[in-house]
Amino acid sequence: MNDEGSLQTFNERQQIHDFVAQACQDTYPELRVTDRLATMGGTFTAWQCADYGSYAGIPDLKGWCESKGLVLINRRDVKYPAYRWFCANAAGTRSEGIPMDEVCAWQYGQESLDRVYNVYGKKIEDSWDCFYTRD
């Protein structure tokens, strides 16, 4: 809701991210927090304010898939581009979702967490990052 009590509307996709990031900072001014989209469910619980230690990097989805003996694919039948990444066998007859939280932990350690910041990003680096939850 905006200041006068009506529902907040957003003209650009980035505006909701900026709005939630600011809400997190305003709610927890004593902490260094960032916004985190936990689910694509259309509820207020979809967003979280996560304790942000520092930036870790971009998740290595190709490396994750290869560590499982699979290849990275991009499935065009998934609505949001950020969620189109899957691991598949070489024949392409079996695919599995990628647990981004596990990828970040595998790549950067257990004190890291995933964050999608642009569900419309068509490249991994335009949609996902990992951050440390502690400095």
pLDDT at 67 over 60: yes
**What is residue 35's three-state secondary structure?**
strand
* pTM over the 0.85 mark: no
**Mean pLDDT for the chain overall:** 84
87's CB contacts (< 8 A; 6+ apart) are 64, 65, 68, 70, 71, 72, 73, 95, 96, 98
Looking at the DSSP assignment, which residues form a beta bridge with residue 51?
33
- Mean pLDDT for the stretch of residues 12-32: 77
Tens digit of each residue's pLDDT (9 = 90 or more) over 106-122: 999 999 989 888 888 89
User: How many residues are there in the chain?
Assistant: 135
What is the pLDDT, as a whole number, of residue 135? 61
Percent of the chain with pLDDT over 90: 44
